[in-house]
Structure 1
Amino acid sequence: MVDPRDERVVPKNMNPRNGLLMEHVARYKFAGSFVWGRVLDIACGVGYGSEIILKGPGRWLVKEMIGLDSDSASIEYARRYYFHPKANFVLGDALDTNLHKSVGLFDSIISFETIEHLEQDEAFIENLKKVLKDDGLLIISTPLGQGRNKPCTCPFHFFQYTLEEFQKLLEKNFNEVEIFLQKDIVIEKPIPGKKYYLAVATCRK
């Protein structure tokens, strides 16, 4: 059974107009306009993102979608409720350095609201690079906050980056980084003077 006390979004248990759910759905729809080939949704939760991608306008470009999560109950839920011929849900650790051997390499990787849950954030980025093909694309998001070394009020997060910290981490590891910001269901290039609370980036090696 999926634990309702953690941060996992379970759409079938939520009002479709729930703000948190709508924000998460917006991110997957955003990703759907970029992904192709073999797609990895790392820390996929209960798997609803695969359904959004594989029903979206870019579904014809997706050959296979792998949802990976460390929570066995979430993977079981995903297999039960989000079955699709192109989708496969597997149990795995995002920090497993042999992940590239167990699940292979990918054209596209989606990593939504994961990095702030991992104390070893740089190791996580290195692992994403290992499973991403040389011409592949990473789409990654994280909530913004006071900074990596500042106290975080969310009990599920080790930290929340400033935008500058997040961008610097990505630019240290990828040659091409494009930053978008999200407010409510709108994801856009930054508008000067507008306040945002979440960053989404597309990254290429």
Structure 2
Amino acid sequence: MKLTDTGERVIPEKMKITNGLLLEHIARYHFAANYVHGRVLDFASGSGYGSHIIAKLCKDKVNEVIGIDVDKESVNYAKGTYYHPLTTYLNGDVTDPRLPEELGEFDCILSFETIEHVSEEKKFMANLYNLLKPGGLLILSTPFGKGRGVPCGSPFHVHQLTVNEFKNLFNDYSATSFYFQKGVLIEPADFNTDKHHPLGIAVCRK
């Protein structure tokens, strides 16, 4: 089947290898490959390329990779384009409170560039926490902006969190490490600098 490019949707087969958006998205999954193990959930998996990267790179330490996305067309595209014996693609809403009961618990959850698209943030964050096993890892990224409720200029984003709002998302976790990303470069976050960083990544242990 064909998948139509709609704004921010990343479809590697339809993008140039020099496309910055593509490269930064791929960089996040390669970063996550250092952490994932066991049962992995790719929350808002889009066209499926990221779930496929994790399954291929981490096949010796991953038991299963489930990619879930609200867009049925994207899920069907992932099934047809990124098959791997460890990977399953499902249609679902990341704010659906039934997901923890339906999917069970995971050792690692990835959620890249998702929260800025979600109006029901509390339901989304609750699902992440409830889907994660005790001691499991959440790896979440988002672009920074002017904060909740403030228009950010992107027609695809509800808003973009400030750095402090991002940091405060993870107070329920036992330990959190923060990183900044610019392009493909991902480095430990330095919150004492005035330098602007476009993206943040959190690695959180439940």
* Alignment match, 1:82: 82
- The reply to whether residue 195 of structure 1 matches residue 179 of structure 2 is no
Residue number in structure 2 paired with 1:32: 33
Instruction: Report runs of 4+ in structure 1 exceeding 6 Å deviation.
Output: none
Aligned to 2:11: 10
Alignment length (residue pairs):
203
Unaligned runs of 5+ in 1: none
Alignment of 1:1-205 (within 5 A): 1-56=2-57, 58-171=58-171, 173-191=172-190, 192-205=193-206
| CA deviation after TM superposition for structure 1 residue 190, in Å | 2.2
Query: Normalising by structure 1, what TM-score?
Result: 0.95
Distance 2:32 2:24 in 1: 13
Q: Which amino acid aligns with 1:156?
A: F
TM-score of the superposed pair, with normalisation by structure 2:
0.94
Gaps of 5+ in 2: none
- CA deviations 1:109-128 (Å, max 9, x no partner) are 00001111111112210111
Equivalent-residue separation in structure 2 for 1:5 and 1:69 (angstroms):
15
Contact 2:96 / 2:123 at 8 angstroms: preserved in 1?
Answer: no
For the aligned residue pairs, the C-alpha RMSD in angstroms reads 1.2
Deviation string 1:90-127 (CA, Å, 9 cap, x unpaired) is 11110111101221110000000111111111221011
